[in-house]
Amino acid sequence: MNAAGIIFANLQNEMLDELTRKRTTASLPFGGRYRLIDFALSNIVCADIVNVAVIAQKNYQSLMDHVGSGKDWDLSRRNGGLTIFPPFSNYKSDFLYTNRLEALKTIRGFISKVKDDIIVLMDCDSVNVIDFEKVINEHLEKQADITVLYQECTVPSTLKNHMSFEILENGRITKGTLTSDEGKNAKVGINVWVMSRRLLQSAVDEAISLGLNNFERDIILNNISSLKVYGYKYTGIYLPITSMEDYYKNNMKLLDPSIRKAIFEQEDHHIYTKVRDSAPTRYGNDAKVENSFIADGCEIEGTVINSILFRGVKVGKGTVIKNSILMQDTITGNNVTLECVITDKNVAIRDRNHLAGCEKIPYYLSKNAMV
């Protein structure tokens, strides 16, 4: 497809606090074996888009480790492929960029050199399954300048900082606001946009010359009357990750077979991730597992109920894990009890520890913690 992709890796870090203190939002683990960027990259490559830029701001080492050259997404190519733009100061000062438009200013060279006519821009703050081939075809059929993806819903607290729009029956956007009113029914943007490369380059050049710094206001809203801005109604799965509560709740939704099917079992849409050659999970004689998502490479001697275990997790004898998320290489001792707990990578929990949180405030153990 004659299109390129731009993915913003860091813009939601502050909202996720502890989870992204040492990583980008894009590299946040999700669903047992994936990272959030896997869903964005998979959406793009499933539409045969093979020229992709990922803009990182800080703490991007884990992102580099995960995506590497892009070969697991078939993006390791001589021409095009995956390009990661590491953090560097914006064009006027020594401070790192803080928003989309400032980020786009720092990759102006990439935008100007891309040969593709269409640019897809998206964040990494959600799990979704988008058919970009359909989106781009509709964008071209309507001869749109900008296409904004949105969903129609009662606005939850997680989306109150997203744009909302007034849209005609033909899809033309006539009005928009930078935020959405919580609790009201609205057409809410999901931070995914499609536009022509020439328009994006012109908008970035204008932003540099005029000192503009807000993508949503200066590029989208201020051009609604002068450009053909259309909405594309997205009706698929959409799991926003904007807080610790969101992260916990939307991971646990994967225990629902219908949610798993909507994400991972689409006929023409696959979710790709970094391949790690691990042995199958080993279950001890006294192991008991109910309604859980278990990755490969785990060793389970105890009980796991309604939980998600990432690769390489070890569960000791007599240990009971309920409603919890254990990230890669977490080790629990014997006779441990965990309920509503999130452990980051490489956490060690000693024998006979009892830790509990709740759905709204899960108990979180940071990376490399030992308790």
Of 38, 94, 43, 106, nearest to 66 (Cα)?
38
Question: 277: Cβ–Cβ under 8 A, 6 or more apart, which residues?
Answer: none
User: What is the pLDDT, as a whole number, of residue 93?
Assistant: 53
User: What is the pLDDT, as a whole number, of residue 96?
Assistant: 67
First to last CA, the chain: 51
Share of residues in the chain with pLDDT > 90 (%): 79
- Per-residue confidence at 277, pLDDT binned at 50, 70, 90? confident
Torsion sign, CA atoms 114, 119, 122, 128? negative
User: What is the pLDDT, as a whole number, of residue 354?
Assistant: 97
Q: Count the Cβ atoms, other than its own, within 10 Å of residue 285.
A: 6
pLDDT tens per residue across span 326-340: 999 999 999 999 999
Check pLDDT > 60 for residue 229: yes
Mean pLDDT, the chain, rounded, equals 92
pLDDT tens per residue across span 333-360: 999 999 999 999 999 999 999 999 999 9
Percent of the chain that is helix, strand, coil (3-state, to 5): 25, 30, 45
Q: Residue 187 in contact with residue 152, Cβ under 8 Å?
A: yes
pLDDT tens per residue across span 92-115: 555 667 788 888 988 999 999 999
The CA-CA-CA angle for residues 75, 77, 80, to 5°, reads: 85
Q: Which domains does the chain have, with CATH numbers?
A: 3-264 (3.90.550.10), 282-365 (2.160.10.10)
Q: Residue 128 in contact with residue 234, Cβ under 8 Å?
A: yes
The CA-CA-CA angle for residues 106, 124, 217, to 5°, reads: 60
pLDDT tens per residue across span 163-196: 999 999 999 999 999 999 999 999 999 999 999 9
pLDDT tens per residue across span 203-222: 999 988 888 888 999 999 99
Residue with the two structure tokens 């390129």:
4
